[in-house]
Amino acid sequence: MTYQLDPVRGRLGTARDISTAPETPFADGLPLRRGDHFGTLPLGDPTGGADGIRWREQVDGKQIYPRVSIDRDVTIKMSDGVRLRATVIRPANRFGQTALTPYPAIVNINPYNRAAIDFIDHALHVPVVSKAMKTAAGSVDATGTAFEGLTKLTQTLAGGVFDVFGINRTLVRSGYVQIIVDVRGTGASHGKWEILGAREQQDSVEILDWVREQEWCDGKLGLAGWSYSAINSLQGADKRPEGLGAVFAVEGCDDIVRDIYITGGMPSAFIPAWLSVVNVLKWLPNPSTMLRDMVRGDTLRWASSRVKSPATEMGSIGWGFLTARDPRIHDDPYFDERDPEIDRIEVPTFTVGAWHDLFSHSATGIYERLDMEPGRKQMVVGDGYHFDAGSGYGGDAAPPRLDVLERAWFDRWLKGHRNGVEYYGPVTMLQQGGSWTSGPSFPRPGMEHQRLYLSDAPSGSAAHAVHDGTLSSAPGLHTSSLKVKRDLRGMISRDMTQVTAGATMALGPHFNTDARFQEKGGLSFTSDAVIERVRLSGALNLRLNVATTGHEAVWAITINDVAPDGRSTVLTSGALSTANRALDHSKTRYTAEGAVAKAYHQLTRHHKLPVPADEPVRIDVALTPTDAVLEPGHRLRVDIYAASYPRYLNVVPDLLKLRGHHQRLVIDPKHPSYLTFEADLPII
């Protein structure tokens, strides 16, 4: 069934005269009456309109309870005997006495050690200072200056994501209980870390069962989190546990392989760096319970668990890089077990992503796979990375802060408040090159597939590149061979910022919004300047005719918006090693004319194809979905690189196959290279 929002009233279903229908049943079976929610929320308002103002006032205003009671010494025993450690936060009166009334419980399960979460909580709740710090972080705007990237990072503090990630005191004071659990084998929990594996997923279900049976829980449950804990929340929801009523997931993932582990068949530098951080954190005891743990013998059990797996997965990752024989260097059932089954989720789910997040494919992919009507599913996608989730939220013409959206979401689905959040969005996006918008779908309505061909004729706009080519509406008439070499310019690029989760954006525009330095090592193909405003929305695919003197090659791609002053800003990206070019046709999407619209590659060891030396082969490079606008005078550009380190790495056996090779893009009218994308108007 296809669902859409009435663009006039923002209701779900087909349009009709609501004056003749005083009651309309919604998805939860309760009647929805006119005036049940605050104000009017027109489709197309990313701020939430009058409802959004009310949501913010409810968070920033006086709460039911003045304080919270925090128990950091809670043990939850799993069915296999392993003890998980948790923090329980409950409402309290002004004397600090815990409220006895049972409330809905919000569960957050993550591997980053509750001691770190406690540190963040204390830092954000220093009297007077913390409020001033958040206000300052949200008000400083250095757009257009050398500090633009740094400001975007600091604005994250005011965007509400740390309340979703850690202890949300305001949410608890409004009448909730919050439970934060160290993942098995991390933090103070015992056992071996299994990195989102089957036993860890079973833990999530058992944790929810335990929470629901506690006297302080009224039986209604929510799952929330950022990054790993967002993935964990989606995994828990796909098990359909009893009592679960809603999910709020910030920057989660539904395809770990293609998003970050082996994008295009190549490992990422992020994974070993991230594994190192979590493995270090899991060795740090929680100071709030250290003495009691020693007396009870928990410290000994905890240490024993750590000794059995001192550096989880680090050895296998290293072995995989050296030999390419570890299954985690290829797509494998190991990953199938860990990807959330999004289409099994039944409860209302709110997802937040970013166009250049580590999990950029999943930014829109999760929403697309959720099998429920819009309203019960919501998607917000910003123009950022991973560490800056929520940056700019709560500002003029922007979505409400993430803590505000989380509160409204859980109030609606766990408490039954008619607050209008089901009419928000359902698809709210920061259009690259444009502004925040809300609409009924992604891609935007009115998009049509288009194709632009790569030609060796100069565009006159990229003299700094290895080759300045053209994007045209028809294949060129001549055959040519364009060489491109590997270099290290990817270390100063948006690729670098994406693989560092956004950390390097503070180093200047070349790491964030200006790709001209990286383009000095690539082949560029640029369209004419557009005359009218053109919107791009949806997936993109780049078909290339390529050759190499070796037996393997790496192709890194970006699609850019080129401003009249020459600044080239990456809109989306992708990569593929030539040996991993085999398509899974059952999952690949095609246009009506039969062209590949979104490639889905077979990235297993057994599906690798031979790469013949000096013989052209055709490859399809999947680019992450995006939403962008080209203003009059701007151009669309395709950049092609032979490498982009450290975002895309080669394992040692593949490095040997390279043999100091030269890569070539073969421009051939009989086998044209072209970009397939969706737009509302022809670019040329």
Q: How is 567-623 classified by DSSP, letter by letter? A: -EEEEEEEEEEGGG--B-TTT-EE-TTS-EEE--B--SGGG-----TT--EEEEEEE
Same domain, 518 and 583: yes
**In whole angstroms, how far apart are CA 475 and each of 359, 482, 635, 674, 684?**
34, 16, 19, 8, 13
Residues 313 and 377 in one domain: yes
How much is the pLDDT for 117?
Answer: 95
Is 453 found in the same domain as 319?
no
**451-464 pLDDT tens trace:** 999 999 999 999 99
Based on the domain organization, do 93 and 227 belong to the same domain? yes
- The residue written with tokens 């972080």 in the block is 137
Is residue 22 in a domain?
no
Beta bridge partners of 70: 89
CATH code (residue 546):
2.60.120.260
Task: Evaluate whether residue 568 is within a structural domain.
Answer: yes
- Of residues 516, 682, 539, 681, the one with CA closest to residue 620: 539
- 316, part of any domain: yes
Domain boundary among 417, 439, 461: 439
The amino acid at 397: A
Q: Which comes out higher in pLDDT, residue 544 or 650?
A: 544
pLDDT category of residue 42 using cuts at 50, 70 and 90: low
Distance CA 48, CA 400 (A): 7
pLDDT (0 to 100) of residue 40: 45
Number of H helices, E strands in the chain: 19, 27
Give the DSSP H or E segment for 542: strand 534-548
112 shares its domain with 175: yes
Last residue of a domain, one of 396, 420, 439: 439
Closest among 424, 106, 352 to 236, alpha carbons compared:
106
Answer whether the bond into residue 443 is a cis peptide, omega within 30°. yes
Residue 496 counted as domain residue? yes
> Do residues 330 and 224 lie in contact, with contact meaning Cβ atoms separated by under 8 Å?
no
Mean pLDDT of the chain: 91
User: Could you give the residue ranges of the DSSP H alpha helices within 452-512?
Assistant: 494-499
| Same domain for 300 and 231 | yes
My answer on whether 433 and 453 are in the same domain is: no
Q: Is residue 63 part of a domain?
A: yes
> Are residues 384 and 505 part of one domain?
no
Domain of 100, CATH number, reads 3.40.50.1820
Q: 676 in helix, strand or coil?
A: strand
Same domain, 402 and 452: no
Map residue 97 onto helix, strand or coil: coil
Chosen domain end from 439, 473, 504: 439
Total tally of structural domains belonging to the chain: 2
Residues 474 and 414 in one domain: no
Looking at the domain assignment, is residue 585 inside a domain? yes
Q: Mind listing the pLDDT tens digit for each residue in 351-401?
A: 999 999 999 999 999 999 999 999 999 999 999 999 999 999 999 999 999
Residues in contact with 655: Cβ distance below 8 Å, sequence separation at least 6, in sequence order: none
* pLDDT tens profile 555-592: 999 999 999 999 999 999 999 999 999 999 999 999 99
Q: Which two tokens stand for residue 284?
A: 């740090």
Q: Rounded to an integer, what distance in angstroms lies between the CA atom of residue 139 and that of residue 548?
A: 51
Buried-state track 161-179, b at ≥16 Cβ within 10 A, e below 16: bbbbbbbbbbbbbbbbbbb
Does any domain span residue 43?
A: no
Quote the CA–CA distance of 228 and 107 in Å, as a whole number.
Answer: 13
- How far apart CA 20 and CA 62 sit, in angstroms, is 39
Q: Are residues 601 and 499 in the same domain?
A: yes
Asked whether residue 42 is domain-assigned, the answer is no
| Domain hosting residue 398, numbered range | 50-135+147-439
As beta bridge partners, residue 430 has: 436
- The pLDDT assigned to 43 comes to 65
Please check whether residues 379 and 528 belong to one and the same domain: no
Q: Is the overall model pTM greater than 0.75, yes or no?
A: yes
- Judged by DSSP in three states, 127 sits in coil
pLDDT at 223 over 60: yes
Amino acid at 558: T
Question: What integer pLDDT is reported at residue 492 of this predicted model?
Answer: 97
